[in-house]
Amino acid sequence: MELSMRYQTILIVEDEATLRQVISRNLEARGHAVQGAATAREALRYLTEWKPDLMLLDINLPDRSGWDVLRELRERRIQVATVIVSAVRVSPARLEEFRPVAYLPKPFPLDALLRLVDSEEDELAQPEVE
């Protein structure tokens, strides 16, 4: 079976182990190759060595912020589609500065994340309210 999805390899940068595992298992069940990182340092290593198609990025990490990760990627000229997942409210200015594919405020329905990852749209997606 040939994969036709846009994001085949996904890096989950989330320090909460349970959430990282739940997202990982659900994405793997849908055919994605997934790696998880609990810190900014781990994330930067995976981004350099593995080069995923998509990064799900928490902002509050134990060693540095998700914004620091994005700034370092910019300095290194590494581009990766990013979805911000955060319990902290993200300002429109931050979204304008870093231009993520989407922003999902925590807690979010897992279905919203899965639809977003599997969608073919490039516009800033907001979770649907049902």
What single-letter amino acid sits at 68? D
Domain of 108?
Answer: 9-118
- pLDDT tens for residues 99-111? 999 999 999 999 9
- pLDDT tens for residues 55-91? 999 999 999 999 999 999 999 999 999 999 999 899 9
Q: How many domains does the chain have?
A: 1
Q: Is residue 41 part of a domain?
A: yes
Strand 9-13 and strand 81-86: the pairing is unpaired
Q: Is residue 70 part of a domain?
A: yes
CB neighbourhood size of 63 (10 A): 13
Q: Is residue 43 part of a domain?
A: yes
Q: What CATH number is attached to the domain comprising 73?
A: 3.40.50.2300
Q: Is residue 18 part of a domain?
A: yes
Q: Is residue 48 part of a domain?
A: yes
